[in-house]
Structure 1
């Protein structure tokens, strides 16, 4: 069972770097597999993020809770995506974000020490993780530009087209939070689009 789950990760990694059979065995010997229930937190604001997580199944949201108790969603993660508070994980300092499961979720977890060990044992993995982090940075920067340059309707259309599998799985108020608008305004945008 764990081997099958590990194969999903290996198939994903293989899109970026080729591992030998020996390297695959080393990697699989170091992974931790864990199930979380809907509503459970993988990391909470203020705690140090202990794991970089690969999503096998399920859906998570990454969000910041402001001092008024308002939730600001910055990311969703589904199958074959990564999730964590990257800044906290890399620096091993308190997390700015919460990562919470929106569905029962299965993850492969890498602790900070395990990733460092893997870099030493399999140097290719350092290149792999660098590529993943670079892609995440680019996506984050593009999202910031969209936030400033696109209207709310354009941001919603982009989200819907880019992430069709996510919209079907999450409540509309979370989509609105991610887009930086109210759920009422999102409802209005959806009605407008339905009329076209």
Structure 2
């Protein structure tokens, strides 16, 4: 438990090195730990996300179910990342997404009310929150633009380059869903790249 909190505090300090030990201790006093098994849900669609979830260890995926009943993966999140549907958390509205563990996972959690309290205690924490929100926005924009400006092959190459550590941790069906392609298309892309 202590190790998970320390991983989180190191991550916070890496982004905002000017935070003092006292400020970090105050922050740590508001954190809770949640451990989930493979296939358990950190967030279920239709529910409001009540706490930010920093992943100390493990791997999760975010997905929604389309009109035909198919699961559509929108993201994979691993160690030192957040498992959060930011809009649901900030606006306090039910999420359209579910966040499910692909591996056993340990989350360091901070409730919405505690986050607001922390922001009032230190401008450095407000800065941290802004930087995290900016990172979330950049990733969302990159994801949207990948479907507008890239081919499925380019999306696959980007994933294999930029998420190399996840490559052997996600199933082919989840990867295909994330890339927006059928399994046969992925097989063709891999065969083509293997012969280049």
TM-score interval for Structure 1 and Structure 2 normalised by the shorter chain: over 0.9
Alpha-carbon distance in structure 2 between the residues aligned to 1:3 and 1:160: 33
Alpha-carbon distance in structure 1 between the residues aligned to 2:108 and 2:122: 18
1:93 aligned partner = 93
Alpha-carbon distance in structure 2 between the residues aligned to 1:162 and 1:55: 19
Normalising by structure 1, report the TM-score.
Answer: 0.96
How far 1:122 sits from its partner (Å)?
2.6
Normalising by structure 2, report the TM-score.
Answer: 0.96
Alpha-carbon distance in structure 2 between the residues aligned to 1:34 and 1:161: 31
1:117-136 mapped onto 2 (5 Å cutoff): 117-136=117-136
> Structure 1: 5+ residue runs without aligned partners?
none
1:20-39 mapped onto 2 (5 Å cutoff): 20-39=20-39
2:154 aligned partner = 154
Question: Residues 132-162 of structure 1: CA distance to partner in whole angstroms, max 9, x if unpaired?
Answer: 1111111111221121111111110011100
SS in 2 for 1:100: strand
How far 1:58 sits from its partner (Å)?
0.4
How far 1:3 sits from its partner (Å)?
3.0
> Structure 2: 5+ residue runs without aligned partners?
none
Alpha-carbon distance in structure 1 between the residues aligned to 2:55 and 2:118: 19
Alpha-carbon distance in structure 1 between the residues aligned to 2:148 and 2:24: 43
2:181 aligned partner = 181
Aligned residues: 195
Question: Residues 22-75 of structure 1: CA distance to partner in whole angstroms, max 9, x if unpaired?
Answer: 111111111001110000111111111111110000000011111321111111
Alpha-carbon distance in structure 2 between the residues aligned to 1:4 and 1:155: 35
Alpha-carbon distance in structure 1 between the residues aligned to 2:189 and 2:65: 26
Alignment RMSD (CA, Å) = 1.1
1:142 aligned partner = 142
SS in 1 for 2:155: helix
1:105 aligned partner = 105
How far 1:21 sits from its partner (Å)?
1.4
